[in-house]
Chain A
Amino acid sequence: MDQGNLLTLPAVPWKAEPVGNGDHSRLLLDLYDREQAPLKRYLAMLGVDPETARDVVQDGFLKLHEHLLAGGEQGNLRAWLYRVVHNGARNTQTSFGARRTGSIDDLDPAASPAAKDLSAEDELLDKERERRVGHAIAQLSVTQRDCLVLRSQGLKYREIAEALQLSVSTVGDNIQRGLERLKELI
């Protein structure tokens, strides 16, 4: 027995610290109002069906609440949320990567606000262009597409980097190469 390994309990070791229980509901609901639709659109671009996306987004906000209750970092909650939702989507889909391809082709061109008030010819051209854009986006690499989609939702490079767990320079590279690829394909 090592006699040098001698520990002494503190004199008053049992004083409990009060545990904070701040009300984060307002912050979370404000964030929900702003981000739920962009998050669901992002999930749609990942090939997640709308009903599953609703569940994944709700779970994401509940995880964020747990994170806040645990005193977690509050630096960039939007990026944190996108990361959790991205991972949540991955967990809900057994063939996540495979199902992502072609998801853009499933988008409904009629849902576009620009589809209204157009002549029949313009509308046809518009639909044709949307089809080609969808097809081109579907041909991007997964990372290029994720970066471009998140960028289109207004996320800064550092937020995209945090959400996708990439470096900021990798995000910049993928955005640039993704746009170049789109230019070639369209």
Chain B
Amino acid sequence: MKCERLSWDLLVKAGDKELSAGEAQFVTDHLAQCADCRRECQEIERFSGYVESAVNRAAVAEQPADREQLAARIGQQARVKAIRAPEKVLRRFGWGMALAATLALGLIVAPRQKAQLTDTTAGSKPAAAESSAIEVDGETFVALPYSNPDLPSLAPRIVQMQVPLSSLAAIGIALEPVASQVLNQDRSVLADVLLGADGQPLGVHVVSWE
């Protein structure tokens, strides 16, 4: 390339229409008066054409049934997606629903366990005897039905949540009064929630009625 005004890079990009409007105009103006650069552009086109012909010679396999097969598989995917959509909704809210269900369970089971604990001798470990309970730092959690018992629980990862009983009632979980307590829909229950290493709740411990 004899002309030094335009680089090869600029000429390639000009041919590929990858320049800004200002740059493209500059190149066009220059090419109008520079035979060397026009020859370079032809060279670029020639070698680009070689690559294109080599690619177009590549053998491709296309069976008539390929398109129909793809259409059928796309339809199948769409149907599976439609079926799974409710599952996705359940997954989205599953955490909360599982928590609510466990709280309901805890309201019924925990006071009974507490009563049993008072009957056991001092120093014994009731958690070992109760397979659905998780013992962390002396606090007993009712295991969630889907929790993975193989995952380690992390003691610092305990959060306390306040759950309005009306929220539980709204999803159809009916709570029965325990002992002499009268259930009031406007009240809340305070609970410790044990989080597993995966961030999912492992178990729940009802702390108190408010």
Contact = CB atoms under 8 A, between A and B. Distances in A.
A binds B: yes
Interface of A: 1-3, 5-14, 16-17, 19, 21, 23-25, 28-29, 32-33, 36-37, 40-42, 44-45, 50-51, 53-54, 58, 61-62, 65-66, 69, 104, 107-109, 111-112, 114, 129-130, 133-134, 137, 148-149, 151-153, 156-157, 172-173, 175-176, 179-180, 182-183, 186
- Does more than half of chain B's interface fall in helix, strand or loop, or is it mixed? helix
A186 B50 contact: yes
Interface string B53-74: 1111111111100110111011
Given A29-B70, A54-B62, A65-B78, 8 more contacts: A8-B164, A13-B93, A14-B171, A40-B60, A44-B58, A107-B59, A149-B51, A186-B47
A62 B88 CA distance: 20
A160 B66 CA distance: 26
Nearest to B166: A11
Contacts of A14: 93, 96-97, 170-171
Contacts of A53: 60-61
B54 A9 contact: no
A41 B55 contact: yes
B167 A6 contact: no
A2 B156 CA distance: 10
22 contacts: A1-B192, A8-B162, A17-B89, A19-B88, A19-B89, A21-B85, A23-B78, A29-B70, A40-B58, A41-B58, A44-B58, A54-B63, A61-B74, A65-B77, A130-B53, A130-B57, A151-B51, A157-B18, A176-B8, A179-B44, A179-B47, A182-B50
A29 B71 contact: yes
Top 3 A-B residue pairs of the complex, sorted by shortest distance between their CB atoms? A44-B58, A50-B61, A40-B60
Contacts of A182: 47, 50-51
Contacts of B62: 36-37, 40, 54
Contact of B161 (A6, A11, A50): A6
Nearest to B192: A1
Nearest to B69: A58
- Does more than half of chain A's interface fall in helix, strand or loop, or is it mixed? helix
A112 B56 CA distance: 8
Nearest to B88: A19
A13 B71 CA distance: 39
B140 to A, nearest CB: 14
B158 interface: yes
A6 to B, nearest CB: 6
B160 interface: yes
